[in-house]
């Protein structure tokens, strides 16, 4: 009798190792929450201070610079009679296309409410309040 083994499947040993690693990560996360400390960031800081960690960070920076393409300029053009702001549809071949300068703003501030003067706050607003004020004096 010939025994055939499955191929390409995860063995029981490696499944147990994977489940153990996930359980360990969950326990560390629960301990971090309980003691109000982030053990993951502390371990990451400790690992990056080593020489191997420094070399890894420098390699990551080089790869990020090489992989990150230059940002395309935002352009405004007319597509089907409607103005469109895009860096894809509004290419330089479109005659209505023009480059748009973008400015980063902090947003719109709410108008500041002026504080009423102390004399206005003490003065009664309507006739009923005036009469009550007069009766209490």
Antiparallel, parallel or unpaired: β 98-99 and 82-86 = unpaired
Within a domain: 82: yes
Do 78 and 100 reside in the same domain of the chain? yes
Distances in Å between the Cα of 45 and the Cα atoms of 26, 48, 57, 82 are: 20, 5, 12, 51
Determine the Cα–Cα distance for residues 64 and 70; give it in Å rounded to an integer: 12
pLDDT at 31 over 60: yes
Q: Is residue 95, in this structure, part of any structural domain at all?
A: yes
What total number of domains does the chain contain? 2
The per-residue pLDDT for 86 is 84
Among the ranges 4-8, 28-32, 85-89, 132-136, which has the highest mean pLDDT value? 28-32
In a domain, 119, yes or no: no
- Of the listed ranges 10-19, 58-67, 98-107, 113-122, the least confidently predicted one is 113-122
What are the CA-CA distances from residue 77 to residues 68, 96, 97, 124 (Å)? Answer: 26, 5, 4, 59
Nearest to 78 by CA among 98, 95, 96: 96
Q: Is residue 131 in a domain? A: no
62 and 94 belong to one structural domain: no
CA 65 to chain centre: 21
Look at residue 17 and tell me whether its pLDDT is greater than 90.
yes
**Res 30 pLDDT > 90:** yes
Residue 100 belongs to some domain of the structure: yes
- Can you give the residue range of the structural domain that contains 27? 12-66
Average pLDDT, the chain: 81
Asked if residue 98 is part of any domain, the answer here is yes
Tens of pLDDT along 39-97? 998 988 888 888 888 888 889 888 887 766 666 678 888 888 888 888 777 777 778 88
Decide if 94 is inside a domain.
Answer: yes
pTM: 0.36
Do residues 54 and 75 share a domain?
A: no
**What share of the chain in percent tops pLDDT 90?**
15
């Amino acid at each position: 009798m010939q025994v055939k083994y499955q191929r390409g499947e995860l063995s029981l040993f490696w499944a147990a190792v994977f489940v153990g690693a996930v359980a360990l990560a969950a326990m560390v996360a629960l301990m971090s929450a309980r003691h109000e400390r982030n053990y993951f960031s502390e371990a990451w800081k400790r690992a990056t201070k080593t020489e191997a960690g420094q070399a890894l960070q420098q390699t990551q920076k080089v790869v990020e610079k090489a992989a990150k393409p230059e940002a395309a300029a935002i352009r405004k053009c007319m597509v089907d009679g409607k103005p469109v702001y895009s860096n894809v549809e509004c290419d330089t071949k479109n005659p209505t296309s023009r480059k748009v300068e973008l400015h980063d703003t902090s947003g719109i501030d709410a108008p500041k409410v002026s504080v009423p003067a102390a004399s206005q706050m003490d003065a009664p607003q309507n006739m009923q309040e005036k009469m009550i004020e007069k009766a209490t004096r």
